[in-house]
Structure 1
Amino acid sequence: MTSPGPTVSVIVPNYNHADSLPLTLPALLAQTHAATEIIFVDDHSTDDSLRVARSLGVPVLSTPRNSGPSVARNIGAARARGEILLFVDSDVQVPPDTVERVVRLLRDDPDAGAICGTLDDTPLVRDSLVQECRCLQAHYWRISALGDVSFLFSALCAMPARVFAELGPFHEGLRQTEEVEYGERLSARYPIRLTDAIHGRHRDDHLLWPLLRKVFHRCRLRMPLYARRRRAAQGFETAARMWGSVTAFLATLALPLPLLLGPVGLAPSLALAVAFVASDAGMYRFVLRRRGPGLLLVFLGVQWLLNLAIAGGAAAGAVQWLTSRSFRGLYDGGPQPRRVPA
């Protein structure tokens, strides 16, 4: 391994991913461009993460209590000595040339505030069909948004340490959506590049109900930020995909119509179902090409439920925003970027 050029600190926040660490940490230790250090920050896991990380030869930092990924990332960044900070979630396995590619990308693009990577369409561990569907969606949404984004894809991203020092730490009051808030702060000053030149295999949620619950709450918690800026994030949050959630919700409401109106009641449901598929037709064609019609049917069902969770989260967040002053101020009080002399 060689390590010419700038120094790189790899920061790995972790919470209860002991089963993934034997795959993810050795990949970081086997890089063609050796990282200056790997900083593993365990957020008070209740599984065997500490023992596994130490057995693999990785030094461990621990939070005094479970505090969320913002705190773990900030602890890692505060200890980092590298000129580049590379954040890699503990359930993401990267190829051996990832650090080398990060160094080259930031060297060739000195204006970039951050470089974010994509997630592969195949899970790190193939636990369930739900996970297969989730990884396909996450992969397609990212490759369809390559370029400048306003959303920090924090599962796999790198930035110059000087930029992190200027922007300040992740908002520690946010246990979820912290990457959205940080991306807004960062993209106001520097471009955030989303590229498939760096990528990794992710062990995503494999159980349906926890996945739906997570999507619901993440969407709910984003509403104060969206209301403040009056737009969605630049990138994969397209207007068509938002309409996809609306049509999934309306089509579900229309399901009883055939029972009430007879055959004529099928028309609204069918029209809304067609609109739902059309809202992200490229993704469904992609899944059909990659996995065939059998998985596509499962994928459509999972996407339908995910879009219902998105619509429900948005509705709940809108009501909460209208009725709760503290919810409207959810993103207040975060770190302020340091002034940089002109």
Structure 2
Amino acid sequence: MRTAPLVSVIVPNYNYAQPLRHCLAALAAQTHGPLEVIVVDDGSTDDSVAVADSFGVRVLRTPVNSGPSVARNIGAEAARGEILMFVDSDVALAPDAVANAVAILAAEPGVGAVCGNYDTVPMTPGGVVRDYRNLYRHWWFRIAEGSITGFMSTAIVAVPSRVWDEVGPWNPRLTQSEGADVVERLTARYEVRMTSTVLGRHDDDATLRIALSKVFTRTRVHIPFFLHRRRVVGVVTSAESGTGLASWLAAATAPLPLVAGPVWAALPALLLLAWLLSDARMYRFVLRTRGLPFTVVYAALHLLVNLTIGVGVAAGLVQWLVSRRFRRLYEEQAVAA
């Protein structure tokens, strides 16, 4: 009888002491064994290392803060498991998450990686912004279930070590596009599976300022990566939402009634309605999950996020056109990938 495979769980961490505590507690409660947990601390200045030490896991440290890709690579090089599982330090896995990922990889040799989803409930309570961000990401990953291409979440990923030897490592020079880079190499040889049977609670953004700042930055810096690969559509779909165009046009046409008369108010209103209807399935899901008052707030926050994506796309395109350094930097990163 074949024994269960050793799974090496690699947790990159930077100044996330409190979420890390929940992450490691969840790993200690996994139903799968044996398990090797490796925390790679990326130059934290809080008590993250002490938290990791208190759980008795293996702790490695980067000399200076170098980014999650570097931390993941250090963990992968030190891992002894047949399966590598990359789990961000702000994710607390469900007790059966590792076991379910292992079962898929064992049953289907053609699957080279299993990506997990976020639970509908965040790791810790944090208000409507956190609830919105968490629930939206759950929905986005949920409708992507099955074979995926183009982009993948890097927060929960299980890969057989033999596969990682072929397609790794994470590109340390890519700060926001490393998932798109790795999934390209994976899907050239294997299927990449997204599934909600591998679930984790996520410690998502707690304030609107943080959420919008992240959305803007991630969208902007994705522009050169995808333009270099001739996949402009991927800029939008891999950022936060693929249904933002109508909301951008609604915002652009909103001043029309002031300059062309009140009758033109119908145009931005119709565009906004088209934007809402394009995500009707999502809003029905939110309504069933959280009720009408939260759904109204959710829609308002989602509109702000979509408009921020539009600003990020515009800023990225302008920077691409006017900044040779911006183009050259990401061209070099893409070639290195």
TM-score normalised over the length of structure 2: 0.92
Distance 2:114 2:230 in 1: 25
Matches within 5 A, 1:100-179: 100-150=99-149, 151-179=151-179
Segments of 5+ residues of structure 1 without an aligned counterpart are: 338-342
The equivalent residue for 2:25 is 26
Distance 1:155 1:108 in 2: 23
Q: CA deviation at 1:225?
A: 2.7
Question: Which AA in structure 1 matches 2:143?
Answer: S
Residue 135 of structure 2 aligns to which amino acid in structure 1?
L
Local SS of the residue matching 1:113: strand
- Secondary structure of 2:244's match? helix
CA 193–300 in structure 1, closer or farther in 2 if over 3 Å, else same: same
In the alignment, is residue 10 of structure 1 matched against residue 30 of structure 2? no
Q: Give the conservation status (yes or no) of the 8 Å contact 2:168–2:182.
A: no
Provide the C-alpha distance between the structure 2 equivalents of 1:169 and 1:233, rounded to a whole number of angstroms. 26
CA distance in 1, matches of 2:233, 2:26: 31
Q: Are 2:174 and 2:333, in contact at CA under 8 Å, matched by a contact in 1?
A: no
Check conservation: 2:117, 2:195, Cα contact below 8 A. Answer: yes
Structure 2 CA distance for aligned equivalents of residues 298 and 25 of structure 1:
33
Secondary structure at 1:224 match in 2: helix
Q: CA deviation at 1:314?
A: 1.2
- 1:51 counterpart residue number: 50
Deviation at 1:336, TM superposition (A): 6.9
Aligned to 2:312: 313
Q: Give me the whole-angstrom Cα distance separating, in 1, the residues matched to 2:140 and 2:185.
A: 22
CA distance, structure 2, for counterparts of residue 228 and residue 307 of structure 1: 24
Instruction: Give, in angstroms, the shift of residue 218 of structure 1.
Output: 1.0
Query: What is the TM-score normalised by the length of structure 1?
Result: 0.90
Describe how 1:188-337 pairs up with structure 2 within 5 A.
188-231=188-231, 237=237, 241-242=241-242, 244-329=243-328, 330-333=330-333
Tell me the SS of whatever aligns to 1:154: coil
Gaps in structure 2 of 5+ consecutive residues: none
Query: Does the 8 Å contact 1:245/1:308 carry over to 2?
Result: yes
Contact 2:13 / 2:20 at 8 angstroms: preserved in 1?
Answer: no
Q: Is the 8 A contact 1:114 1:157 kept in 2?
A: yes
3-state DSSP of counterpart to 1:20: helix
Q: How far apart are 1:22 and its partner, in Å?
A: 2.5
2-structure distance, mates of 1:326, 1:146: 37
3-state SS, counterpart of residue 95 of structure 2: coil
Name the SS of the counterpart of 2:111 in structure 1: coil
Match of 1:340 in 2: none
1:223-265 per-position Cα deviation (integer Å, ceiling 9, x unaligned): 123223333688x939xx53x3222222223333334444313
Asked if structure 2 preserves the Cα contact closer than 8 Å seen for 1:118 and 1:143, the reply is yes
Distance 2:107 2:324 in 1: 45
Counterpart Cα distance in 2 of 1:331 and 1:56: 42
Q: Deviations over 1:301-320 (max 9, x none)?
A: 11111111111111122222
The separation in 1 between residues aligned to 2:132 and 2:60, in whole angstroms, is 34
Counterpart residue identity of residue 237, structure 1 = T
Q: Distance in 1 between matches of 2:32 and 2:168?
A: 27
CA contact (8 A) 1:41 1:61 kept: yes
Distance in 2 (CA, whole Å) between partners of 1:230 and 1:277 is 29
CA distance in 1, matches of 2:28, 2:233: 34
- Runs of 4+ in structure 1 deviating by more than 4 angstroms, as ranges, are 333-337
- Structure 1 window deviating more from structure 2 (259-268 vs 33-42): it is 259-268
